[in-house]
Amino acid sequence: MSCFRIVSRMTEGNVVESRTIINRHIESAFAAE
């Protein structure tokens, strides 16, 4: 959860944007597998 905390800290107030970034990372991770 540390990564999520860092992302949320970097994107204070931009929860939607951070969510999109996280979703993209998850999609890329699944695509890699």
Residue 9: both structure tokens together: 């800290």
**For residue 16, what pLDDT is reported?**
74
In this prediction, residue 4 carries a pLDDT of 72
- Residue 21's pLDDT is 85
**Does the predicted model carry a pTM greater than 0.75?**
no
Number of other residues whose CB lies within 10 A of the CB of residue 2: 6
The residue with tokens 């969510």 is: 19
Give per-residue pLDDT as tens, 1-33: 576 776 766 666 667 777 888 899 888 888 877
Domain definitions of the chain by residue range: 1-32
Q: Are 19 and 4 in contact (CB under 8 A)?
A: no
Q: Report pLDDT for 22.
A: 86
HEC string for 1-33? CHHHHHHHHHCCCCHHHHHHHHHHHHHHHHHHC
